[in-house]
Amino acid sequence: VLTLSSSTEVLLEGIKNGDRRMLSKAITLVESELERDHKQATNLLTRIIEERREKAQIDPQSVDTFRVGVTGPPGTGKSTFVETLGTNLCNEGHKVAVIAIDPSSRKTGGSVLGDRSRMVHLGAHENSFIRPSPSRGIAGGLSVHTSDQILLCEHAGYTHIIVETVGVGQTEVSVADVTDMFMLLISPGGGDVLQGIKKGVVEFADMIVVNKCDGDMIQRGKMIQYEYKNAIQLLGHQMGDWIPPVLTASSLMKIGIQDVWKKALEFKRHSQANGSFETRRETKRKNEFWKKLYEFLKMGLHRSEPTMDLIHKLEPMVEKGIISSRKASSDIVNQIFQYM
Ligand code: GDP
């Protein structure tokens, strides 16, 4: 595929003018590992941070956004849920960006089509932007660059960012690391309560939605709601004074989605009022900084010729058992930093 590179200025203007193609290009750019792209992405993000800080000084409301993570086991109806919720928000006049990450369908390469075909209404809405999982096949999907991509969407005027993922915890970066609110979607009919869903995931949740509560699943859904409510009472929440609500909904029949959103807004108001909204974002920025630093150190290592020379010299010696892997690694780090 031939991609014509655009200058940082062109990208920036395009993003601000709501040009989806430019936004897509920029999102691809921040994922790129090419040295040239890396520099441009850095410049672009620097400009965006500057512009957003200026905007915030003039009017803090103008940079107010809400990042919502939607996670749950495959087949619980996440895409259907995001389609219904996102379309509602778009119809209310909000601009909604969806970053959909689906590692299971990525394996077959069907992720792009899959997500698109599942979010037909939302995808066609003039207020939406849907970004299917990056197709580069990184395990897990979310990366240290996901929050940069969120920032790009926000600079393009999207005030509501929904990040949809299958799992949490298995990957380097989890959806809770990049969002303001973490919604766990579950569905009835999946055996025992808490089965298949790690306790840790429930502990992270700011809200739980029991989806597919329609037809003959209504009774069972209510039972599950009750049991999760009890589980949450026992687990508590990181934000002491917030009890994660457990709601029932049907994304397919469009029942209860408005209530889910009402609760989500309540969470936002609540966390903004007690200051945790901002402190959470600060903590997340800090954590991401460290993850990126490690990532870039690794990249730098592979790009440094003298380091790679030494690595190539030592690697076969480690292989043959001539020197210990510990000694070889220390020598390499020592050459770079002179401290070990
Ligand atoms: P995902 O894998 O979590 O994204 O799940 P999908 O959104 O692709 O939905 C999986 C299947 O469940 C599809 O066949 C949907 O039509 C169906 N589904 C999703 N939401 C509901 C719902 O609220 N009620 C019912 N009955 N089916 C649903």
Name 265's Cβ contacts closer than 8 Å, sequence gap at least 6: none
Question: Interface pTM (ipTM) of the complex?
Answer: 0.99
What is the CA(210)–ligand 1 centre distance, in A? 12
Start-end of CATH 1.20.5.170 domains in the chain: 1-58
What is the CA(228)–ligand 1 centre distance, in A? 20
Nearest-5° angle of CA 116, CA 122, CA 124? 80
Q: Give the dihedral of Cα atoms 253, 259, 265, 267; nearest 10 deg.
A: -110
Ligand 1: residue whose CA is nearest its atom 18 = 77
Nearest-5° angle of CA 59, CA 60, CA 65? 125
Start-end of CATH 3.40.50.300 domains in the chain: 65-274
Q: What CATH number should be reported for the domain whose range is 65-274?
A: 3.40.50.300
CA 40 to chain CA centroid, Å, is: 22
Record the pTM. Answer: 0.89
Per-residue pLDDT of the chain (340 residues; tens, 9 = 90+): 445 578 999 999 999 999 999 999 999 999 888 889 999 999 999 999 999 999 999 999 999 999 999 988 888 999 999 999 999 999 999 999 999 886 554 444 444 444 445 788 999 999 999 987 654 444 446 788 999 999 999 999 999 999 998 765 555 668 888 999 999 999 987 654 555 566 667 778 899 999 999 999 999 999 999 988 988 887 766 667 899 999 999 999 999 999 999 999 999 999 999 999 999 999 999 999 999 999 999 999 999 999 999 999 999 999 999 999 999 999 999 999 876 5
Q: Which of 34, 291, 338, 293 is closest to 143 using CA atoms?
A: 291
Nearest-5° angle of CA 254, CA 260, CA 261? 100
Ligand 1 proximity of 251 Cβ (cutoff 6 Å)? yes
Q: Cβ distance 76 to 185 under 8 Å?
A: yes
Q: What CATH number should be reported for the domain whose range is 1-58?
A: 1.20.5.170
Residue 272 buriedness (CB in 10 A; 0-12 / 13-18 / 19+): middle
Q: In what order do the strands lie in the sheet with 66-71?
A: 128-132, 96-100, 160-165, 66-71, 181-186, 207-210, 246-248
Ligand 1 proximity of 84 Cβ (cutoff 6 Å)? no
